[in-house]
C-alpha cells in the first residue's frame, strides 16, 4: 500500500511539474522580451511583453552602476521606455508602456508638441516616426484611456552628416571591398548599409561581388545614418569582368637597357609575338614586380622542329614608378593643420612631392611637407595642411619621385576626402 501511495504521489508531482514547464513556456511565448543595446554593444534595456522595462545604467568607463525598473501602470496610459533616444526627422521610434490603443489613429503622439504619425500599435507598443519640425523635448501620448508624458526628452539631432571611403572604386568580379562610413554630428555613428545592383554587402560595410557577372555594371553603395534617415552617403563601384579593367590597376613601368649577368642563359624562347593585357590580379595575390636581377629576352625561330638559333638579345631591367596602395587617414575636415598622413605602395623611394589633385589640377588648398620614406620604399609619411576654404569632396593623391609620378587617375587606394 505504501509503495502504491509513493507511486501515485510521484506521478502527481511529475504531472504538476510538467504543467508548470508548459505554462512557463506559454507565458514566455505570450510575453516575449525585447533587448536593446547601445552604440558600444552594451545591454541598454529589456522590455517584456507587458511593457515593463529594466534600464541598465553605466559609468563613463562601462561599469554597470544600477538597473532601474520601470513598471507600467495598471490603469491609464504610461510610457516605460522609448528607443532610440535621439534622431532626426523620419527616424522610426519604438515606444513601450501600457494603455495604448490597438487602433493606431486613436493614439495621439507628439514630440515636444509636434504631432507625429503612428505607424502601428498594440496595448504596450507604439511605432512612430520623428515628424518634420520637431524639436528636442518629451514625448506625449493620449487616447481614450488617458494621457502621459515621457520622463526623458527625445533629442533631435542637428548637423548629422555621413561620408564613405572609398567614394569610387573599380573592382573585378570575384573581389571584395571594405567600405568605411564616417558620421559626424552625433554620438551614435552606426549606419545601415545597402546596395543598388548585383552583389551583397554586410552590416559592417563589406561588399562582395556576384560571380555571375559577365559584363560591366555600376553598383551604388549607400550608408544611411540610423540617427537621421535623411543623411545618406553614396559610393560608386565600377564592376567589371576579370581581365577587362584597362589601365586602372596596373603599376606603370619604366624600362632601361642593362647587361645580363655574365654566364647567364636566357630562358625565354619566344616563337611568336606576345600581347599584354592589363587586369586586376586575383584577390589575395601579390604582383611579382620586384626584380633583383636584369631580365633578358631571347628571340627564337618559330619552327617547332628546329631549336632556337638566335640567343643574342637586348636585356631589360625594370624599375617601378610610384604606385599608391593605401592612405591613412583617408579623410579629414577643412582647416586641419599638421595632419600626418601615412601612404603605402611601391616605388616610393626618393619621393620629392605629394600633391592633391582636384579636377585634374593641383589643389593649392592642400599643401604637404616633411616627407619621410622608409628604407624599402613601400611606405611614407607626410604632414598635410588643409585650408579652411577647401571644398568638400575627394582628391587624387599623386606622389612624385625621380622615376616619375604616380597615376593622376582614380585608382584603388589613391583617394583622400575633405569632409
Q: What is the pLDDT of residue 360?
A: 81
Instruction: Give the residues across from 373 on adjacent strands.
Output: 380
Q: What is the pLDDT of residue 357?
A: 92
What pLDDT digit, counting tens, does each position of 156-169 carry? 877 788 888 888 88
**Per-position b or e across 271-302, b if 16+ CB within 10 A of its CB:** eeeeeeeebbeeeeeeeeeeeeebebebbbee
Q: What is the pLDDT of residue 228?
A: 81
Q: Does 256 score more than 60 pLDDT?
A: no
Q: What is the pLDDT of residue 264?
A: 56
Q: Are 141 and 123 in contact (CB under 8 A)?
A: no
Q: Does 273 score more than 50 pLDDT?
A: no
Distance CA 49, CA 163 (A): 38
Q: What is the band of 343 on the pLDDT scale with cuts at 50, 70, 90?
A: very high
What pLDDT digit, counting tens, does each position of 30-51 carry? 556 788 877 667 887 888 877 7
Q: What is the pLDDT of residue 202?
A: 93
* Domain coordinates in residue numbering, the chain: 34-156, 161-240, 253-272+294-318, 323-418
Contacts of 148 (CB under 8 A, 6+ apart): 76, 77, 78, 79, 97, 99, 140, 141, 142
CATH code given to domain 34-156: 2.60.40.10
Q: What is the pLDDT of residue 128?
A: 93
pLDDT, mean over the chain: 76
Q: What is the pLDDT of residue 318?
A: 52
Taking each continuous run of H as one helix and of E as one strand, the counts in the chain are 1, 36
Q: Are 124 and 49 in contact (CB under 8 A)?
A: yes
More confident residue, 54 or 309: 54
Q: Does 78 score more than 50 pLDDT?
A: yes
Task: Report the pLDDT averaged over residues 255-276.
Answer: 47
CATH of 161-240, one of 1.20.140.10, 2.60.40.10, 3.90.1150.10, 1.10.3470.10: 2.60.40.10
Q: Give 176: exposed, middle or buried? Use CB within 10 Å, 0-12, 13-18, 19+.
A: middle
Task: Report the pLDDT averaged over residues 6-35.
Answer: 48
Q: What is the pLDDT of residue 320?
A: 67
Q: Please name the helix (run of DSSP H) or strand (run of DSSP E) that holds residue 110, with its range, or none.
A: strand 108-111
Report CA dihedral (391, 192, 97, 104) to the nearest 10 degrees: 90
Q: What is the pLDDT of residue 367?
A: 95
Same fold, 34-156 and 161-240: yes
Q: Are 412 and 166 in contact (CB under 8 A)?
A: yes
- Does the pTM exceed 0.75? no
- Indicate the class that CATH gives domain 323-418: mainly beta
What pLDDT digit, counting tens, does each position of 100-147 carry? 999 999 999 999 999 999 999 999 999 999 998 899 999 999 999 999
What pLDDT digit, counting tens, does each position of 208-233 carry? 887 666 777 888 999 998 888 778 88
pLDDT > 90 fraction of the chain, expressed in percent and rounded: 28
Q: What is the band of 293 on the pLDDT scale with cuts at 50, 70, 90?
A: very low
What pLDDT digit, counting tens, does each position of 179-199 carry? 999 988 888 888 999 998 888
Q: Does 261 score more than 50 pLDDT?
A: yes
Amino acid at each position: 500500500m505504501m509503495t502504491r501511495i509513493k507511486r501515485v504521489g510521484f506521478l502527481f508531482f511529475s504531472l504538476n511539474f510538467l504543467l508548470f514547464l508548459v505554462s512557463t513556456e506559454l507565458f514566455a511565448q505570450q510575453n516575449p522580451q525585447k533587448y536593446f543595446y547601445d552604440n558600444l554593444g552594451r545591454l541598454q534595456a529589456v522590455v517584456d511583453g507587458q511593457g515593463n522595462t529594466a534600464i541598465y545604467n553605466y559609468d563613463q568607463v562601462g561599469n554597470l552602476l544600477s538597473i532601474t525598473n520601470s513598471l507600467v501602470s495598471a490603469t491609464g496610459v504610461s510610457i516605460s521606455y522609448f528607443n532610440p533616444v535621439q534622431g532626426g526627422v523620419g527616424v522610426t521610434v519604438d515606444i513601450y508602456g501600457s494603455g495604448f490603443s490597438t487602433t493606431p489613429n486613436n493614439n495621439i503622439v507628439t514630440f515636444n508638441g509636434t504631432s507625429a504619425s503612428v505607424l502601428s500599435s498594440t496595448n504596450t507598443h507604439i511605432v512612430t516616426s520623428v515628424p518634420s519640425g520637431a524639436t528636442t523635448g518629451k514625448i506625449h501620448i493620449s487616447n481614450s484611456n488617458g494621457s502621459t508624458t515621457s520622463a526623458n526628452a527625445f533629442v533631435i539631432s542637428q548637423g548629422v552628416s555621413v561620408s564613405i571611403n572609398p567614394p569610387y572604386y573599380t573592382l573585378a568580379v570575384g573581389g571584395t571591398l571594405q567600405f568605411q562610413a564616417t558620421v559626424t554630428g552625433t554620438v551614435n555613428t552606426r549606419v545601415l548599409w545597402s546596395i543598388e545592383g548585383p552583389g551583397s554587402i554586410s552590416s559592417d560595410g563589406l561588399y562582395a561581388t556576384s560571380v555571375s557577372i559577365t559584363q560591366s555594371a555600376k553598383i551604388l553603395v549607400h550608408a544611411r545614418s540610423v540617427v537621421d534617415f535623411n543623411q545618406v552617403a553614396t559610393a560608386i563601384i565600377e564592376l567589371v569582368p576579370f581581365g577587362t579593367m584597362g589601365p586602372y590597376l596596373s603599376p606603370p613601368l619604366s624600362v632601361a637597357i642593362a647587361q645580363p649577368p655574365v654566364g647567364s642563359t636566357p630562358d625565354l624562347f619566344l616563337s611568336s609575338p606576345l600581347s599584354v593585357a592589363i587586369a586586376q590580379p586575383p584577390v589575395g595575390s601579390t604582383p611579382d614586380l620586384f626584380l633583383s636581377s636584369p631580365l633578358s629576352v631571347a628571340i627564337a625561330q618559330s619552327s617547332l622542329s628546329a631549336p632556337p638559333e638566335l640567343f643574342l638579345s637586348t636585356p631589360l631591367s625594370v624599375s617601378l614608378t610610384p604606385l599608391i596602395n593605401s592612405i591613412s587617414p583617408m579623410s579629414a575636415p577643412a582647416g586641419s593643420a599638421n595632419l600626418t598622413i601615412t601612404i603605402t605602395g611601391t616605388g616610393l623611394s626618393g619621393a620629392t612631392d605629394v600633391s592633391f589633385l582636384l579636377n585634374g589640377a593641383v589643389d593649392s588648398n592642400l599643401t604637404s611637407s616633411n616627407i619621410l620614406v622608409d628604407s624599402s620604399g613601400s611606405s611614407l609619411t607626410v604632414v598635410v595642411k588643409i585650408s579652411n576654404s577647401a571644398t568638400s569632396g575627394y582628391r587624387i593623391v599623386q606622389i612624385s619621385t625621380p622615376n616619375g609620378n604616380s597615376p593622376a587617375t582614380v585608382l584603388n587606394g589613391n583617394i583622400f576626402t575633405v569632409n
